[in-house]
Amino acid sequence: MNVRLQDERWVRRRGVAVRGQAFDGADLLEAPAIAERFARALEDRAGRNQDGDAHLEAVAACADSLEGFFAAVVGLDADSTYLVADGARSIPLWYDAAGSVVSDRGWIARDAVDAPRDPVAEREFLLTRYVTGPDTIWRDVFAVQPGEMVRLESSDVDGTGTTSDGYRIVTRHTYREYWPAAETPTAEDECAGDMLEAPLTRLEAGLQAALDRLEVVAGDRPVVLPLSGGYDSRLLAAALVERGREVIGFTFGRSGHPDVEVSREVAAELGIRWEFYPYSRAMWRERYHGEAGHRYREWAFSRDALPFLAEWPAVHGLLEDGRLPEDALYCPGHTVATPSERLPRFAGEPRFDIDRTTVGCGPAVDADERGTVDEALETIDPTLEALVEYVLETHYVLWDLDDVANVPTDDGGSIQDAFRERIRRGLLDDRDPQTISDPATAAAAYERWEWRGRMSTFTNGDCRVYEDAGLEWWLPLWDPAYVRAWEAVPLAFRRGKGLHADLATAIYWRVAGVTHDRAAVTDRTLEPVDRLLSLVRHTPVRQFLERGGDWEPPFLAPRERWREPGSHPLAWHGIVDDAVLEAVPSSRNLYALRTLARVEGVDLGDPSWLADVGEEWFE
C-alpha cells in the first residue's frame, strides 16, 4: 500500500504516522506519544490474539481514549492498516476503494487510481457545497469520517500482502458516535429558570473542561479568535478573559456591518485587543484571482467540500501587516451546537414559552418577521421519510433541485432518489429505521446528519485557512468534553442553539458588566440605530481608516438586500466578473457560483464561458 502524507507535521514512530495533539485525561500527548500509544495497543493485543477483529478493537479502543484533534495511520508496513479520524474529522484522510493508496490530499488518491467523477456525489456537491458520507466527487475515492476508523486489510492469498487480484478488504468502524438523546421535558412541565439551571450548569462544566485543555495547548501564548457578532466566539472570548488569558479578536467585512459593529462592541466591553480587516470588491478581485488565491483553493479543495474562504483574506492580510501574532493559538468558534440551529419543529413535540430567536447562521428569517421559534419553524412528522424530505428541501438548494431530479444514475434510478438514499444513510448509519420514532430521536438523527454531512466536511474545513498561513489551531467547542455536555442537553433547550446562547450571554454578562439585554445582542438583533451610532462611538479618524480613505457612510444595507451585487457585507461579489453577475439571478449566491466553477471548470473572473451555457442554465 502506498501511504503518501504531504503535510510536514506528520510524525512517524514504530509503523504509525500521527498528526495533531490529544488528551488522555489531563495529560496532553503530542504526535510522537500518540504514535507510541497506538503502536503499543496493537502490539499488546497481537501478543494475546492474532484475530483481525481483536486488532481492530484495540486500535478503536486506543482512539476512543484520546480526546483532541488528530489523525493517525496505524500499521504503515503491515498487512492491515488502520486510518483514524477524531470526532470532528479536523485532519482529513483519503483512500481508494482498493485500499492501494492513503493520503492527506484527496487529489493524490484520485490521481493514483485515475478515478472518474461520480455523477451523484458531484451533483450533491453542486447543490450543497459538500459531499455527505465517506464519498468524494470521484468514484471509489473516500474520506475517513469523524469518529471513524477504516481498516485496509489484505487477505494475503498469495503471501505478498494482497489478494490474488491485487485488492484489499476495506472495513469501516465508528468508534465515536454523536446522537443527542436527552429526555425532553413533558408538556406539563414549565420552562422556568430553575429548569434551565441544571442543564446550564452541566453545559458550563463541559465548557470549562474544554477550556482547561485549551489553556494547556496554548501555554503562555495568546489566543486569537475570529470574533463575529454571534454567540460562539463571544462565549470563547468572555470565558477566556474571565480566566485571565490574553485574547486577541479579529473580524472582517465592511465597516458598519452588524457583524463588525457587534464584534467591535464585544471586544471593547471585554477589554481585549481587536483588529479589523476591511473587505472590498477590489480586495477580493486581487486576492481571489491572484496566485495565492489559486494556490490556496487548489490545495484546500478536498473534493468533498468547498474550501472555506470567509476569513482567508483577513488572516493573511493581518499577518502581513503585523497586526496578528504568528506564535499564537488560533481558535475558530465552530461548535457542536450548530446543527441544532436548523432543527425543524416536530409534530407532537411539547411547546414551551421560551422566546428563542434564531442565532448564528440558522434559517434566514428576518428579525421583524421571526417572532418565536414556534412561529418560524416548519413542523414535520418525526419520521425517517419526513426528515429525508426536510434535509433535501433545506440543504440541497444552491441550484434548482428539479434540474437534476430526473437525471438517470447507473442503477436506472434518478439523482433525486440517490440523494434520498444518501440522506437516509447519514441520518441512521446502521440503525434500524424504527429508531426514529418521536421528536427526540428525530432531532438526534437530524443533528447526526449535520455532524457527519456538513460540519465535518465544509465547516471544519476552516482549519485549512489557518494551516495555509502556517498557524496552529484548536477547536475548543468541538472538544469531546463540550460535545458530551451538549449531547446531554434536552431537545427543548438545544433547539435554536438556545442553551448554548444562554451560556454565552450569561458569561459575557458577568465578565463585561453590561446589561443582560445588551449581553444578548447579536448581529441578527442589532438595531439599525446602533449601526448609525458607531460613527459617534468611534472617532472619525478610525472610521476613515477602516474604509481606506473613503468618507462615505459605513455599510448600512438591510439584510434583505444582501443578495444584491455590491450590497453583501463581505463584498465578495468582487470575486465575480460584472457580466457573470448580470447573467446569474440574485437567488444564486456565491456558494452556488463557486460550486459551479468547480464542477464545470469555469473562471468566475472571466465571462467568456457564458456563451457556451446559455441563459436557460441559470433559470
pLDDT at 612: 76
- In this predicted structure, the answer to whether residue 296 has a pLDDT above a threshold of 70 is yes
- Which residues lie across from 3 on neighbouring strands? 102
Least confident window among 313-322, 565-574, 587-596: 565-574
C-alpha cell at 388: 429525508
Does the residue 566 lie in any domain? Answer: no
* Same domain for 158 and 217: no
CA distance readout (Å), 397 to 90, 192, 595: 26, 38, 12
Tell me which of 51-55, 268-272, 489-493, 603-607 is least confident: 51-55
Same-domain pairing of 136 and 239: no
Q: What share of the chain is helix, strand, coil (3-state, %, to 5)?
A: 45, 15, 40
Q: Cα 580 from chain centroid?
A: 29
Give the global pTM.
0.92
Q: What average pLDDT does the segment 322-341 reach?
A: 97
Q: Is the pLDDT of residue 119 over 60?
A: yes
Q: What is the band of 565 on the pLDDT scale with cuts at 50, 70, 90?
A: confident
**pLDDT at residue 419, as a whole number:** 95
Q: Residue 470: which CATH number?
A: 3.40.50.620
Res. 361 pLDDT band, cuts 50 70 90: very low
pLDDT at 158: 43
The dihedrals phi and psi of 18, each to the nearest 5 degrees, come to: -135, 140
Residue 479 in any domain: the answer is yes
Mean pLDDT for 264-278 is 94
> In the chain, how many domains are there?
3
- 485 lies in a domain? yes
In a domain, 9, yes or no: yes
Angstrom distances, CA of residue 9 to CA of 17, 70, 364, 598, 612: 10, 11, 39, 28, 44
Give helix then strand counts, H and E, for the chain.
25, 18
Alpha-carbon gap, residue 3 to 245, rounded angstroms: 40
With a CB cutoff of 8 Å and minimum separation 6, the contacts of 241 are 247, 270, 271, 272, 511
Per-residue pLDDT, averaged over 372-384, amounts to 72
Percent of the chain with pLDDT over 70: 85
**pLDDT averaged over every residue in the chain:** 87
Query: Where a domain ends, among 174, 203, 231?
Result: 174
Residues 139 and 62 in one domain: yes
pLDDT over 60 (residue 338):
yes
Q: Residue 197 domain-assigned?
A: yes
Residues 38 and 123 in one domain: yes
- Domain membership of residue 269 (yes or no) is yes
- Do 24 and 110 sit in the same domain of this protein? yes
pLDDT of the residue at 557: 82
- Give the pLDDT of residue 535: 58
- pLDDT for res 190: 46
Both 162 and 202 in one domain: the answer is no
What is the tens place of the pLDDT at every residue in 5-41? 999 999 999 999 999 999 999 999 999 999 999 999 9
Domain end among 521, 542, 559: 521
Ranges assigned E (strand) in 41-134: 67-74, 80-85, 94-96, 101-103
580 C-beta neighbours (distance < 10 Å), count: 23
> Whole-angstrom distance between the N-terminal and C-terminal Cα of the chain?
47
How sure is the predictor about 51, in pLDDT bands with cuts at 50, 70 and 90? low
Residues 237, 260: contact at Cβ < 8 Å? no
pLDDT the model gives residue 349: 87
pLDDT at 358: 37
- Same domain? For 261 and 146 the reply is no
Across 139-145, average pLDDT: 95
Q: By percentage, how much of the chain surpasses pLDDT 90?
A: 67
- pLDDT, tens digit (0-9, with 9 covering 90-100), for 590-610: 999 999 999 988 999 999 888
Which amino acid is residue 580, in one-letter code? Answer: V
pLDDT over 80 at 167, yes or no: no
Count CA within 13 A, CB hemisphere, residue 467.
21
Distance CA 509, CA 269 (A): 10
Higher pLDDT, 401 or 445: 445
pLDDT digits over 173-221, tens only? Answer: 999 999 998 766 554 554 444 566 889 999 999 999 999 999 999 999 9
DSSP code for 334? -
* pLDDT value at residue 542: 62
End-of-domain residue from the set 174, 207, 229: 174
The pLDDT of residue 544 is 62
Question: Is residue 305 situated within a structural domain?
Answer: yes
Distance CA 574, CA 571 (A): 6
Q: What is the CATH number of the domain that holds 106?
A: 3.60.20
Average pLDDT over residues 391-420: 84
Give the model confidence (pLDDT) of 448-480 as tens digits.
999 999 999 999 999 999 999 999 999 999 999
Whole-angstrom CA distances from 208 to 70, 140, 215, 237, 489 are 21, 42, 10, 13, 16
Indicate if 35 and 159 belong to the same structural domain.
yes
Mean pLDDT (whole number) for 372-380: 62
Give the pLDDT band of residue 163 (cuts 50, 70, 90): very low
Q: Letter for the amino acid at 561? A: R
pLDDT at 307: 96
Do 257 and 108 share a structural domain? no
The SS3 call for residue 141 is: strand
Residues 152 and 250 in one domain: no
Let me know whether 583 and 501 are in one domain. no
Q: Are 359 and 494 in contact (CB under 8 A)?
A: no
State the pLDDT at residue 165. 47
pLDDT higher than threshold 80 for residue 387 = yes
Mean pLDDT, to the nearest integer, of 476-499?
96
**What distances in angstroms separate CA 134 from CA 95, 115, 144, 162, 303, one per listed residue?**
10, 15, 6, 23, 11
Mean pLDDT throughout 486-510? 95
pLDDT value, residue 270: 97
Domain that holds residue 505: 193-276+284-337+462-521
Average pLDDT for residues 51-67, to the nearest whole number?
89
16 and 61 inside one domain: yes
Would residue 82 count as lying in a domain?
Answer: yes
Contact between 362 and 497 (Cβ < 8 Å): yes
Backbone φ, ψ for residue 355 (5° rounding): -85, 85
> Would you say 141 and 170 are in contact if contact means Cβ atoms under 8 Å apart?
no
Q: What is the mean pLDDT of residues 354-377?
A: 38
